[in-house]
Amino acid sequence: MNLIIDIASYICFFIGAFALITGSLGILRLPDVYSRIHAAGIIDTAAVGFIILGMMLQSGFSLTSAKLALIVLFLFFTSPISGHAVAMMANKFGIKPEAKEIKPKNKNAGDLNG
Amino acid sequence: MFNVNLGVVNMSQRIYLIFSENKKMEKKAIKKTRNINKSSALAYTGLMVLLWVVLSGHFTPLLLSFGALSCLFVIYMAWRGDVLIGDIKPEQFFLKVPFYWIWLALEILKSNISTGKAIWTNNFEPEIFEVKASQKSENGLANYANSITLTPGTVTVLIKGNIFLVHALTAEMGKDVRSGVMDKKITKMAL
């Protein structure tokens, strides 16, 4: 039983580390600010989530696990705010995304101008 | 030297102004209703007690009484700040939010896999589009924008009223957001 939990937590750590590498590669490889936020989003969600899941498996059913879960909860509340702040400021200072613009079908929705 | 003194005088004057203005504001605030919504207050108390128990982990009578005191103080401040009038609904944390979180976690996992695939295969075509949110309350709008940003592959760039400008990494993810499944789920949650 102990061995199974150990192996499960090692797998979680491995997936988290792989997500970290994926996110860093994305930050290097993607073309502009807006796309790089997506890569940072992988680190914010998958990497942190899986590494803390591995830690929770190691500490077992205890108060420490609850505290680790709280860390994930607060991180998931706050990390999209920082991502949105970066995107909003990039938009405010006029950085144009290298992206295809898709126009809305109904005219009412189209009163947002960069 | 003179400049510094002048600065101090200005500063104290400014602080005095702030305080006097605050007193005026307070009189206005007392005139306001300061209603209390019972289920909201109860759920808020429950959340505070739960948070205190998880963070403390000590169960001697002395520390428990300190915890009860601090919880009561927080509830008092929330009541004074008109948090408990019922436009924010903390009782949903016990009723509907956990199910939404489970669904959101699965969604995050899926979009993580597709974003990772797009990065490793170097195959992406970013697109930017507008999406209309159907939530009525500010809290629901914030929840929707945060949920879009939290799933990797989509970012809310700009918010104006109930129209979001969203940047998506691949066409598939853009289609997911425009289909409005998440929008309907959050509207149904009635935060």
Question: ipTM of this model?
Answer: 0.86
Q: Hey, how many other C-beta atoms are within 10 angstroms of the C-beta on B32?
A: 9
Rounded CA separation B155/A93 (Å): 17
Contact call for A38 and B153, based on CB within 8 A = yes
- Please report whether residue A49 resides in a domain: yes
> Does some domain include residue A83?
yes
The pLDDT-based confidence of B73 (bands split at 50, 70, 90) is very high
Considering only alpha carbons, which residue of chain A is nearest residue B123? Answer: A30
Please compute the mean of the pLDDT values over residues B30-58 and round it to a whole number: 83
Q: Find how far residue B22's CA is from the centre of its chain.
A: 26
Proportion of chain B above pLDDT 70, given as a percent:
82
Residue A27, domain extent? 2-98
User: Nearest Cβ partner of B108 from A45, A63, A110?
Assistant: A45
For residues B148 and B31, the model is more confident at: B148
Please check whether residue B115 lies inside any domain of the structure: yes
Q: Quick one: how many helices (H) and strands (E) in chain B?
A: 8, 3
Single out the residue in B80, B114, B148 at which a domain terminates.
B80
Residue A102 has its nearest CB partner, among B127, B146, B152, at B127
Find residue B128's DSSP bridge partners: A101, B167
Counting one residue from chain A and one from chain B, the pairs whose CB atoms sit within 8 A come to: 133
Q: Does B153 touch chain A (CB under 8 A)?
A: yes
More confident residue, A66 or B58: A66
Say if residue B67 is in the same domain as residue B120: no
Section A54-70 average pLDDT:
92
What's B122's domain CATH number? 3.30.70
Q: Which residues in chain B are closer than 8 Å to A25, comparing Cβ atoms?
A: 119-120
Q: Do residue B127 and residue B166 come from a single domain?
A: yes
- Residues B103, B184, single domain; the answer is yes
Q: Is residue B155 predicted with pLDDT exceeding 60?
A: yes
**A31-41 pLDDT tens trace:** 889 999 999 99
State residue A70's pLDDT score: 93
Q: How many domains is chain A built from?
A: 1
* A residues 49-108 closer than 8 Å to B (CB): 49, 63, 66-67, 70, 76-77, 79-81, 83-84, 87-88, 90-91, 97-104
> Are B17 and B49 in a shared domain?
yes
Better-predicted residue by pLDDT, A12 or A111: A12
Residue at B91 is within a domain: no
Q: Is A32 within a domain?
A: yes
pLDDT reported for residue B150: 92
pLDDT for B111 beyond 50: yes
What pLDDT does residue B5 have? Answer: 42
Which of the four pLDDT bands, split at 50, 70 and 90, describes residue B2? very low
Question: B101 and B185, same structural domain?
Answer: yes
Residue A13 lies in a domain: yes
Burial class (CB in 10 A: 0-12, 13-18, 19+), B128: buried
DSSP state of A43: I
Our CA-based measurement puts residue A72 at a distance from the nearest CA of chain B, in whole angstroms, of: 12
Give chain B positions within 8 Å (CB) of A101.
Answer: 127-129
Does the distance separating the beta carbons of A79 and B124 come in below 8 Å? no
Q: Are residues B111 and B161 in the same domain?
A: yes
pLDDT of residue B8 exceeding 50: no
What is the pLDDT averaged over residues B157-185? 89
The answer on B185 and B106 residing in a single domain is yes
pTM: 0.80
Task: Tell me which residue range forms the domain holding B27.
Answer: 2-80
Query: Average of pLDDT values for B10-19?
Result: 52
Confidence of residue B104 (pLDDT cuts 50, 70, 90): very high
**What is the band of B121 on the pLDDT scale with cuts at 50, 70, 90?**
very high
